[in-house]
Amino acid sequence: MEKKRPRTSAKAIIIENGKLFVLKKKAANDIYYVLPGGGQRHGENLIETLKRECLEETGAEVEVGDLVCLREYIGAHHEFSDVHSHLHQNDLMFSCKILNDYTTVEPTEEDEGQIGMEWLPLESLEQYNLYPKILRSYLKIYNPGEGKTYLGDIN
């Protein structure tokens, strides 16, 4: 039997005017938020992955900047282990800037459960069901070029 390998994903941290750009999603009766981005395809570098994923999910063309942090998610170690026990994913989160008026473009491949996009105020992120949870505090103190890049196995 072939062993599953960890999945590599690129995520966009887009901050403008003190707000974080996120995907709004729904599962069962829960509303939650995640960063735009997704899985890397074979032969695609992470920058290409992030540009493609942002365009597909939001209609936004992005300029990809520096790597902000790396989040490792081993589903069996966290509160969703009953449904995520098979997941092992490495999310590389990059600082990004939106280049176009994405509000005039329709997403072409929304994520499962995606019901919209929102700008969440950084000063009140703890009030939102944002994943990974550490972003609620991390982005308040984040200064480009400073701090930890590898966040470890977290949710």
Domains (ranges, CATH) in the chain? 8-143 (3.90.79.10)
> H or E stretch including 19?
strand 19-27
Query: What is the rounded radius of gyration, in angstroms, for the C-alpha atoms of the chain?
Result: 15
Selected residue with higher pLDDT from 85 and 125: 125
What is the band of 89 on the pLDDT scale with cuts at 50, 70, 90? confident
Q: Is the pLDDT of residue 126 over 70?
A: yes
Greater confidence, 80 or 108? 108
With tokens 């939650």, the residue in question is: 32
Confidence band for 39, pLDDT divided at 50, 70 and 90: very high
Would you call 20 exposed, middle or buried from its count of C-beta atoms within 10 A (0-12, 13-18, 19+)? buried
What's this model's pTM, rounded to 2 decimal places? 0.84
Residue 85 has pLDDT above 70, yes or no: no
Is residue 101's pLDDT more than 50? yes
Nearest to 89 by CA among 19, 148, 147, 35: 35
Q: Is residue 67 within 8 Å of 47, Cβ to Cβ?
A: no
Q: How confident is the model over 43-48, as a mean pLDDT?
A: 91
Query: HSE-up of 92 (CA within 13 Å, CB side)?
Result: 17
> φ, ψ for residue 11 (rounded to 5)?
-125, 150
Query: What is the model's pLDDT at position 1?
Result: 44
